[in-house]
Amino acid sequence: MPDFDVIVVGAGPAGSCAALTIARTGKSVVLIERGPFPGSKNMYGGVVYPRILDALIPEWWNEMPVQRWVTRRSTMLLTDTQSLSIDFRSDAWGDAPYNGATAFRPDFDNWLANKAVEAGATLVCSTTVTGLITGANGEVIGVHTDRPDGDLTASVVIACDGVNSFLAKERGMYPHTDAAHFTLGVKETITLSKDIIDERFAVRGNHGVDIEILGGTSGVNGGGFIYTNLNSISVGVVLKLPKLAAQSKRPEEIIAGLKSHSAIAPLVEGGTVSEYSAHLIPEAGLKMMPKLLDDGLLIAGDAAAMCLAAGIWLEGVNFAMASGMYAAQAACEAIEKENTSAKGLSLYKKLLEDTFVLRDHRKLRRAPQLVLSDRVQHMYPALITGVVQGMFQVNNPVPKPGLRKILKNERRRLGIRTTDLAKDAITGFRSFG
Amino acid sequence: MTPVIGVCVKWIGSQPNSGHEADARFAQFSASDQAALETALQRAEQLSGRVRVVSVAPAAARTHLVALCASGAHELVHIAAEGQSSSAHVAHELAQHLQECASVWCGDYSLDRGSGSVPAFLASTLGAQQALGIVGITSSEVSNTLDLLRRLDAGRREIVRVVEPFVVSVEGSLATLRRASLASTLRPTATLVDASLVSQSAPSFGEFSPFRPRPRTIAAPVGETALDRIKSATSANSPQKHSEIVTLAPEAAAQFIVERLTEWGYLS
């Protein structure tokens, strides 16, 4: 007789949603977290899109710990001396049922884990899972932890142990691990008064802004971001690992460079850095996704590379929560049918395939590579800002040039071949179209 | 009869002056409180005794106290109190649940930088011997006696022999609290006793104030030049009187000390 029906490893969004789903069926579930409390070890940029929570916590917006509801989304292209912003605002996103919010992970993750505990899950913190216990036929039947007498058994283990999942790797479910599949997210939380944030970012009340930036990363492929919290802003960069290593630049220097850009400096001026953090992000989407299930074992969240990094869409927490929830549903069904083999757990794959989790990843499978390519990173921001500058610059008595001429001149100046431009346009259209 | 070893711990919800509101997620017990528990567990193992953890703490501390006790304590007495109390009051409340304890172990330092005086008040209330700021323990041949090592100034040490019942506060370096097993973390076994304050304030121990030597009137220094007067005022040319070693019976020694302190102006 196992100690629990299900062991969930990691009390992040995936793990807590899995534990909450299982606990509500009356099955016994233990949620094991290595930090002293859920969220203490976690980090993201951070906007969370909690629509998937509708299925788990009706009217979650009334209790979720939110910093600001994102009502402005801005995409910014940066060169060394230019910037171009496309800004969108929707008042509807500032009212229920909302769209996305900035939140602090120690608050958000703790809240979600407590939901699981309220539903009957057992939460054990300050405990690290160190390995899997396998049965006579090689199936997973439990976990080892770093506590004395720390073995636990269960019918199913759901590994939500984050990026670099040691459990999935131990099981050989990550056959294609490659540094190029990961980016390094680095973030400074800068304290500013609410009034200053409201004024600089043109928002009021608990409305906030999400600015995604292409360029401004000191030549390292990646991107930048600025998010508004209530009394602070998050400024950071996401950097492709091989490029970062090749250029031997330090991430904090790259953030400093971003903050000193003429388009960014006025936004961060006078602020005090109150936190600096960094985390790996699984950004290669489908290309890096591990085998998602095995006998007695399911992989969810960042551990399963459930992170969508597709330029204009940068989402992770919603994919984590959904994959955790679906893993839990599959585990419950398998336990009820008394078949926790990979075949018995196959509902997980089906649920992922039938919903946005794998559909979005499949549709946008080419996007991460395109967005992080050298042309998109270094040439197109210069091309687009150059064209816009050509449009708006007044060179009287020279008459205004036509748009086609400006584009042609800029393309030639930057050495962009028409074939490459066309190829990328097609890839972009197939991804985002 | 099974001896009971008492442990007193102080739960701190947030760091003082951190600018953050109290938040149970960041709550901790000091390293010295944890060392006190570990030392008590070791003492209980030697004596086949039971460990009773007692704490005056708010309701938010409950899960942390239970988690702390998972390291091996047998009983947890949680005295519910939300506000701040004086050290004398806290000691008075703790003492209600430590009367039959052979020894009581406390940390010498709390994370809110308290005065560290609870163990002394506790010893006074319990009528027990006390030894504060212990950095080492040596077992004595007599089971109810311990030789305890204390720090003194200038790198000196002293060994204090205590006989049960005693109250001891320990430094954090004395011991590292053992890790709770997974089984005891999942299913806590310590008997939980909910208690409430027996009084809203401490019994009076009299008026206390920091010791300040009394000002003394001394004659003006004598000398023709300023240098002479400075030498006179500082006794620079006088033969130095180094430390004096006297061997006296305790009562006579105490009297000798009082006389000297009076002579030097520290006592009126």
- Nearest CB among B25, B182, B186 relative to A110 is that of B25
Q: What is the pLDDT of residue B22?
A: 61
Share of residues in chain A with pLDDT > 70 (%) = 100
Share of residues in chain A with pLDDT > 90 (%) = 82
Long-range contacts of range B56-59, CB-CB < 8 Å, 24 or more positions apart?
A: B56/B10, B56/B81, B56/B85, B56/B90, B56/B93, B56/B94, B56/B197, B57/B10, B57/B11, B57/B81, B58/B11, B58/B13, B58/B82
Each residue of B81-109: pLDDT tens digit?
987 888 999 999 999 999 999 999 999 98
What is the residue whose two structure tokens read 């006296």? B248
- Express the helix, strand and coil content of chain A in percent, nearest 5 each: 40, 25, 35
Write out the residues of chain B at the interface with chain A, using a CB-CB cutoff of 8 A: 25, 178-183, 185-186
Please report, as a single letter, which amino acid is at residue A327: A
What residues of chain B lie within 8 A of the CB of A30, using their CB?
186
- Nearest CB among B25, B178, B185 relative to A124 is that of B185
Complex ipTM = 0.79
Q: Judge whether A59 and A53 are in contact, CB under 8 Å.
A: no
Q: What is the pLDDT of residue B143?
A: 81
Q: Judge whether B108 and B168 are in contact, CB under 8 Å.
A: no
CB within 8 Å: A149 and B180: no
Q: Where are the beta strands (DSSP E) in A114-216?
A: 122-124, 129-134, 140-145, 151-159, 182-191, 207-214
Q: What is the pLDDT of residue A310?
A: 77
Which of A350, A324, A311, A331 has the alpha carbon at shortest distance from A431?
Answer: A311
What residues of chain B lie within 8 A of the CB of A131, using their CB?
none
CB within 8 Å: A127 and B25: no
Each residue of A188-201: pLDDT tens digit?
999 999 999 999 99
Mutation to test the A interface, candidates B18, B21, B25, most A Cβ within 10 Å: B25
In the predicted model, residues of chain A with pLDDT beneath 70 are: 45
In the predicted model, residues of chain B with pLDDT beneath 70 are: 14-22, 205, 208, 213, 268
Domains and CATH numbers, chain B: 4-196 (3.40.50.620), 211-268 (no CATH)
Give the alpha-carbon dihedral of A168, A173, A175, A181, to 10 degrees.
-50
Q: What is the pLDDT of residue B83?
A: 79
